Structure 1
């Protein structure tokens, strides 16, 4: 008797299991599940690749703040940076803009020309960092509705099963309803990581953009002052302005007053 009960339980599990629910769903359900799987794969791919890219630029920024301004010139400092460094791109674009300004035929303020060139360089870097985030936002917004699409089809098939059977027996509706709930859950499983990844990467990009903007401003000050204005490198003291010596007066031999500074 116990063997019969166990066999009946196993048969019920097979009838109402996940794979059976997917089989009942047919091509539409498998297509929905495949779309959500693709969404999840690319979400994780973008998350890890962007984390690697962001961390690389963050490490470059630390090295720049530690050693770059110790160089005697921008060219010397840029030569020590990594070949594909975002900070090197800003320096190279700034130097190139300074050289181009001398060849302009129309009078343009050097500050405006340099500032515009550095801004374009920053925008290009920020645009590259933001690549893929639109896909994460799209997945976060649409994945629940894709799962809901599978849910609607599952309930629809359950109602058809009830109508054909003439009664709402559990064996007619359990499979389609279970499959519909699975699609809803799957859509949420895909959407939630996409939204979290989007917000997390967006916040890190904002921090990187702030550091790039500060560095760009320092480069602009250096170029506009011919090297007179530069940030204080770590380990060096900022130059202090010496106060002028007070004027002293001495009495002359003829009773006049002479002033010595």
Structure 2
């Protein structure tokens, strides 16, 4: 150990690092709780209003008026794609080559992935803190024990009263590292489970959107044929 560097400075830096980890962890926890609660509320409100709409046109207007939340943004993306596909100047471009249903599904899946990435942002940080905080604490403990042993060797006494105090203080870093890691790991597992439920809900909405979008188009085509248009 390079004793020209004060060991106390290194140990204190370790503890401040753990403190920073703890602040980041609890900031992310409170932010993700707010984010999940907000998105769940928006999705519930929009999902109810969307399926209560009497037509695809009214559902499109609903998306334009209440474009808040992941499902509303996915619906807006789908309606924008349908409108662009029907426009003569853009319908011949390469991105509209292929089955319309497959192309729309791909567009909705891409938007779903964006929403999921937005919701999962910060979870990697929680996982990293949960896995590294104990080792950071252990690093501080090892440095503390080395420093304590060095002081004991200089004092020339190895009695229990002399040894127990410095080593006990050094072990505090490991305890703090574990205390920082536990909330991070628990929060990561909890939010990952919530994110899976959220993703399943979005995928179900995409399936429903595809069904009504093309069933509505089919019904319109049948009506035009019946009227001789």
Conserved in 2, the CA contact under 8 Å of 1:161 and 1:172? no
Which structure has more helix as a fraction of its residues?
2
Can you give the 5+ residue segments of structure 1 that lack an aligned partner in the other structure? 1-23, 230-261
Conserved in 1, the CA contact under 8 Å of 2:46 and 2:72? no
Shift in Å, 1:170: 4.0
Are residue 148 (structure 1) and residue 159 (structure 2) matched? no
Conserved in 2, the CA contact under 8 Å of 1:154 and 1:177? yes
**Residue aligning to 1:78:** 63
Are residue 94 (structure 1) and residue 78 (structure 2) matched? yes
Counting matched residue pairs gives 205
The equivalent position to 1:58 in structure 2, one of 40, 57, 62, is 40
The CA deviation string for residues 141-175 of structure 1, in whole angstroms up to 9 with x for no partner, is 00000000111011111221222122203454334
User: Which secondary structure does the structure 1 equivalent of 2:216 belong to?
Assistant: coil
Can you give the 5+ residue segments of structure 2 that lack an aligned partner in the other structure? 1-5, 220-229
Shift in Å, 1:121: 0.5
**Residue aligning to 1:114:** 104
Are residue 205 (structure 1) and residue 195 (structure 2) matched? yes
The CA deviation string for residues 42-98 of structure 1, in whole angstroms up to 9 with x for no partner, is 1011011111111111112222332222223221331342x4321111111101222
TM-score (norm 1): 0.73
Highest Rg: 1 or 2?
1
TM-score (norm 2): 0.83
Shift in Å, 1:196: 0.2
Counterparts of 2:211 and 2:157, CA distance in 1: 81
* RMSD between superposed Cα atoms in Å: 1.9
Are residue 45 (structure 1) and residue 27 (structure 2) matched? yes
